[in-house]
């Protein structure tokens, strides 16, 4: 069996240490991002891995999130994902780089150094499981989220697959109170797994869930999601809470604990708030 992991890339258990201690070199920039988002490589012991570096200094001010906190929230989401076994967020650390303190996250997908001509790099955002299509083109078995109009006034449907990994991501977003789950924040890795990126708008103490993954709204959790919620509750009662307390306020941490308790008590995916903003903009 061949491995999809490049020969110069460290094993997954060592990736956090690699991202934390390696030499970080900025190689490019993601254009169109609302905050400074830099392509980089992290090198350690002869191994080099692609990553994304988001310096705190490049965060745009927001009216509803405290200034300079988005990088820490990225790391907090990764900690919850890893501690409870959600496997949604790629390995992410908080460290210094060329532009100061920021989050550094393992790259998802083909190595960008392969070149823009590589066909694999042309995989559309959404990981092949989220799309906006004409009503007649919704794939069989997919969940419709909302109907609307395209740029030319044509009818379109925002929809996503009835996929177990995506369902797990939707529950995870409810845990971390993700206010920005766009379709473009869902990517497919080289291992075929679907993962989420861009978790800077998470852990607000007020309800902020905005997502394109409303396809299971109101439905009961399956056993897998219940087990993950129980693992999250247990982790928040231990070392995870101490680590999160260095990244979040006491009120934000308490709100996260209460969200998990409520999700377990209700046993169902949340529904969009009546009259409230439920979708991120733009959806992709």
Averaged pLDDT of the chain? 90
186 class by beta-carbon count within 10 Å (0-12 exposed, 13-18 middle, 19+ buried): buried
Helix (H) or strand (E) holding 170: helix 164-176
Domain that holds residue 34: 12-111+162-266
The answer as to whether 119 is a domain residue is no
pLDDT at 246 over 90: yes
The answer as to whether 117 is a domain residue is no
The answer as to whether 202 is a domain residue is yes
Q: How many CB atoms lie within 10 A of CB 6?
A: 14
The answer as to whether 124 is a domain residue is no
Residue 274 pLDDT: 83
- The CATH number given to whatever domain includes residue 107 is 1.10.510
Q: Tens digits of per-residue pLDDT, 170-181? A: 999 999 999 999
Residue 125 pLDDT: 67
The answer as to whether 82 is a domain residue is yes
Residue 217 pLDDT: 97
* CA pair distance 266, 282, nearest whole angstrom: 30
pLDDT at 9 over 60: no
Residue 277 pLDDT: 86
Look at 112 and 259; give whichever has higher pLDDT.
259
Number of structural domains in the chain: 1
The answer as to whether 4 is a domain residue is no
**pLDDT grade for 190, boundaries at 50, 70 and 90:** confident
pLDDT at 52 over 70: yes
């Amino acid at each position: 069996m061949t491995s999809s992991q490049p020969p110069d890339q460290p094993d997954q258990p060592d990736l956090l240490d690699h991202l934390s201690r390696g030499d970080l070199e900025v190689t490019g920039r993601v254009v169109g991002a609302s905050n400074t988002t830099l392509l980089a490589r992290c090198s350690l012991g002869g191994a080099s891995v692609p990553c994304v570096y988001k310096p705190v200094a490049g965060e745009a001010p927001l009216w509803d999130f405290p200034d300079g906190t988005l990088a820490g929230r990225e790391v907090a989401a990764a900690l919850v994902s890893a501690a409870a076994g959600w496997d949604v967020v790629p390995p992410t650390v908080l460290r210094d780089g060329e532009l100061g303190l920021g989050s550094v996250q393992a790259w998802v997908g083909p190595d960008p150094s392969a070149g823009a001509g590589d066909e694999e790099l042309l995989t559309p955002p959404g990981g092949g499981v989220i799309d906006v299509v004409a009503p007649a083109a919704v794939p069989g078995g997919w969940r419709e989220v909302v109907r609307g109009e395209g740029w030319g006034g044509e009818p379109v449907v925002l929809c996503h697959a009835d996929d177990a990994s995506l369902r797990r991501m939707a529950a995870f977003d409810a845990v971390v109170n993700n206010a920005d789950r766009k379709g473009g924040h869902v990517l497919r890795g080289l291992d075929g797994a679907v993962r989420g990126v861009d978790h800077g708008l998470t852990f607000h103490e007020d309800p902020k869930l905005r997502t394109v993954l409303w396809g299971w709204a109101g439905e009961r959790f399956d056993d897998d999601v219940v087990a993950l919620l129980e693992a999250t509750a247990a982790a928040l009662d231990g070392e995870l809470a101490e680590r999160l307390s260095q990244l979040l306020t006491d009120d934000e941490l308490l709100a996260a604990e209460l969200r998990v308790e409520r999700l377990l008590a209700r046993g169902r995916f949340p529904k969009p708030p009546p009259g409230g903003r439920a979708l991120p903009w733009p959806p992709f």
